[in-house]
Amino acid sequence: MDKIAAYLKRIGFTGKPKRNFDTLHALQRNHLQTVPYENLDIVRGVPISLKIEDIYEKVVTRGRGGYCFELNALFAWLLRSLGFKVTDYMARFLKDEPEIPMRRHRVMLVSIGDEDYLCDVGVGLAVPRKPLPLTHGKVSRQSGEKYILEKDDFLGNILYDWKNDAWSRIYAFTLEPQIEQDFTAVSFYCEKHPDSIFRKQDMVHIFTDTGRKSVAGGEVRLFGEIGVEVHKPASESEYHGLLRLHFGIDL
């Protein structure tokens, strides 16, 4: 099995991929529901590599996940391999930030014809499962959630979601294309700096058909149509079992 076929199998994509919106949508949705966002290596001091062959081995061969600099890099590689036009950007993550933070999130735009779509498979919270057209002021309703892109003179393109009867900022990016070397120093900061949120606690997240599953504050939380089911593991072995059961992660 070649590398592309193995990747498509890893994310449960069947059929023949085409360079159109339906394929892009299916790839993004499947990725979010099969490859977990996770920082477990960072917390445990396991070095992060941004080389595509290393990310591929981690995600596809070993069945692990990663964070934005890993997952969006690998997904962009897959899309380019399938013939899509992809441009990479750096974003500022604004959720729950009282001030404007540094750029520390990787995103991408995928061009199909004359339309550009925001695609992201590397966020550990609710984000669009469907590629979002780079159109300002248009509400996108997806899986019971609402998103919108707005324009800001300084921040550029701001992605919002609808929470508690108000629009809440998720992240913002300007249209300055990045190359792979541009992500190295920022990822190193996220991995090594003592102030980095990625070093504080385990963060794991994956989407399901009816909601999502998350690890936060030492709890495993299962969000579904009827509410939230919370598991508080009593031991490390129990915690590892929950990671295997709900996220497919074997530490």
Separation CA 183–CA 175 (nearest Å): 15
Q: Which entry of 31, 68, 119, 161 is annotated as an active-site residue? A: 68
Q: Which entry of 120, 161, 190, 246 is annotated as an active-site residue? A: 120
Q: 49-56 long-range contacts, Cβ below 8 Å, gap at least 24?
A: 50/180, 50/183, 50/184, 50/187, 52/77, 56/3, 56/7
Residue 96's pLDDT is 86
Residue 210's nearest CA partner among 227, 188, 186, 195 is: 227
Interval 7-34: pLDDT, tens: 999 999 998 999 999 999 999 999 999 9
Interval 196-228: pLDDT, tens: 999 999 999 999 988 899 998 889 999 987 889
Q: Which entry of 31, 41, 105, 116 is annotated as an active-site residue? A: 105
Residue 120 annotated to the active site: yes
Confidence of residue 251 (pLDDT cuts 50, 70, 90): confident
Residue 189's pLDDT is 97
Residue 105 annotated to the active site: yes
Interval 80-127: pLDDT, tens: 999 999 999 999 999 989 899 999 999 999 999 999 999 999 998 878
237 near 227, Cβ under 8 Å? no
Separation CA 66–CA 123 (nearest Å): 10
Residue 226's pLDDT is 80
Share above pLDDT 90 across residues of the chain, in percent, rounded to a whole number:
89
Confidence of residue 1 (pLDDT cuts 50, 70, 90): low
Residue 125's pLDDT is 81
Chain mean pLDDT for the chain: 95
Higher pLDDT pick, 1 / 109: 109
